[in-house]
């Protein structure tokens, strides 16, 4: 396993992040525990979850599964850099969602209880809350840090402007501020390159891509359809995206075949090659999927391969080959 520092911190994390969103809804608890044990066997030490995962309001199903795994001992908690999130609704009463000081306090206590731990390593805002001032958010977070309940703070789904706002407000308080941003980022969705990546690099945030396979579309969906599988990509937004990008995706799968690689591994390897990326989130439903993802760490993409991928999936903006703000204009 390869490790890197999380943003500008001294914290060492694995370059593949174990996403747990499938634990509960898609993967049974016993299998989820086996996947987490195997992740440690592979050297993956960075686990990501959220209080709303499990999709049963107020239950925190996925956090509970992880908590019962920690409770088995054997150094499971000590060897894990644990990230969870706050924002989503955990009830129908006022102040049971978003980023008020009251909800931050309640949500943190709830996550700690479900996770059966005394601290969260990385506490992430699942979304920006335009209705709550940064002074209130940072005050609430600083209390959690003073209490030893949270070590680092991060964001998710923030725009570059939100990152700047957060960091400047933190600076005024003499606070470390954000150390990571979790964004959707993959070959099909490269919008973060315009502003989010430059902002993250300027302020020293590690970038953690979610949906690295764009809902499975970069995992060999066309081949799987021909073989009678791949149903996950046939409906909703994934189905629309497949129709829109079918020619590029088919060419991409052919390119992966030329390289002798699995399309999913190629997509992860591309993200690992991007400057500023800490590590993509992988969300295995089975141990076999987890084992297979390790191949991405071994793939070295040549300049020609990267150029071909840029041709198939161009960077955003009228001048996307250049970073923002040039990408917007000339």
61-to-32, 123, 148 alpha-carbon distances in Å: 12, 18, 24
Question: Over the chain, what is the mean pLDDT?
Answer: 95
Burial level of 303, CB count in 10 A (0-12/13-18/19+)?
A: exposed
pLDDT > 90? residue 325: no
Question: How many Å apart are CA 229 and CA 137, to the nearest integer?
Answer: 45
Residue pointed to by tokens 């902002």? 199
pLDDT digits (tens, 9 = 90+) for 272-316: 999 999 999 999 999 999 999 999 999 999 999 999 999 999 999
pLDDT > 80? residue 233: no
pLDDT for the residue numbered 14? 98
pLDDT digits (tens, 9 = 90+) for 125-134: 999 999 999 9
Work out the end-to-end distance of the chain between its first and last CA atoms, rounded to an integer number of angstroms.
41
Contact between residue 2 and residue 14 where contact means Cβ atoms under 8 Å apart: yes
Q: Which domains does the chain have, with CATH numbers?
A: 3-219+263-308 (3.20.20.100)
Residues marked as catalytic: 53
pLDDT > 70? residue 230: no
Contact between residue 178 and residue 167 where contact means Cβ atoms under 8 Å apart: yes
pLDDT for the residue numbered 69? 98
pLDDT band at 236 (very low <50, low <70, confident <90, very high): low
pLDDT > 70? residue 19: yes
Residue pointed to by tokens 């989503």? 88
Residue range 13-30: average pLDDT? 98
pLDDT digits (tens, 9 = 90+) for 195-212: 999 999 999 999 999 999
Helix, coil or strand: residue 154: strand
pTM of the model: 0.95
Q: What is the DSSP string of 222-255?
A: HHHHHTT--GGGSSHHHHHHHHHHHHHHHHHHHH
pLDDT for the residue numbered 285? 96
Helix, coil or strand: residue 84: strand
Residue range 241-260: average pLDDT? 95
pLDDT for the residue numbered 239? 83
pLDDT band at 228 (very low <50, low <70, confident <90, very high): confident
């Amino acid at each position: 396993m390869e490790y890197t520092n999380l943003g500008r911190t001294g914290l060492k994390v694995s370059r593949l992040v174990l996403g747990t969103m499938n634990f509960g809804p898609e993967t049974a608890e016993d299998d989820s525990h086996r996947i987490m044990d195997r992740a440690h066997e592979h050297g993956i030490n960075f686990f990501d979850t959220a209080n709303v995962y499990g999709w049963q309001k107020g239950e925190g199903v996925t956090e509970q599964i992880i908590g019962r795994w920690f409770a088995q001992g054997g150094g499971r908690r000590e060897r894990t850099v644990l990230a969870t999130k706050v924002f989503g609704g955990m009830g129908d009463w006022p102040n049971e969602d978003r980023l008020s000081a009251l909800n931050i306090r309640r949500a943190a206590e709830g996550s700690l209880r479900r996770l059966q731990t005394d601290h969260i390593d990385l506490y992430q805002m699942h979304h920006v809350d335009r209705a709550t001032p940064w002074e209130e958010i940072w005050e609430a977070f600083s209390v959690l840090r003073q209490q030893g309940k949270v070590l680092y703070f991060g964001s998710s789904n923030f725009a570059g402007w939100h990152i700047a706002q957060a960091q400047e407000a933190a600076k005024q308080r003499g606070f470390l501020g954000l150390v990571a941003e979790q964004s959707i980022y993959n070959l099909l969705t490269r919008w973060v390159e315009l502003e989010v990546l430059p902002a993250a690099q300027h302020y020293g945030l590690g970038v953690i891509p979610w949906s690295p396979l764009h809902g499975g579309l970069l995992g060999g969906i066309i081949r799987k359809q021909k073989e009678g599988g791949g149903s996950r990509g046939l409906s909703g937004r994934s189905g629309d995206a497949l129709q829109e990008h079918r020619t590029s995706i088919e060419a991409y799968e052919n390119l992966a075949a030329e390289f002798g690689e699995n399309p999913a591994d190629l997509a992860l390897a591309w993200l690992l090659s991007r400057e500023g990326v800490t590590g993509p989130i992988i969300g295995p439903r089975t141990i076999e999927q987890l084992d297979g993802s390790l191949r991405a760490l071994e793939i070295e993409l040549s300049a020609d391969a990267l150029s071909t991928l840029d041709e198939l999936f161009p960077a955003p903006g009228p001048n996307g080959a250049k970073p923002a703000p040039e990408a917007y204009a000339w």
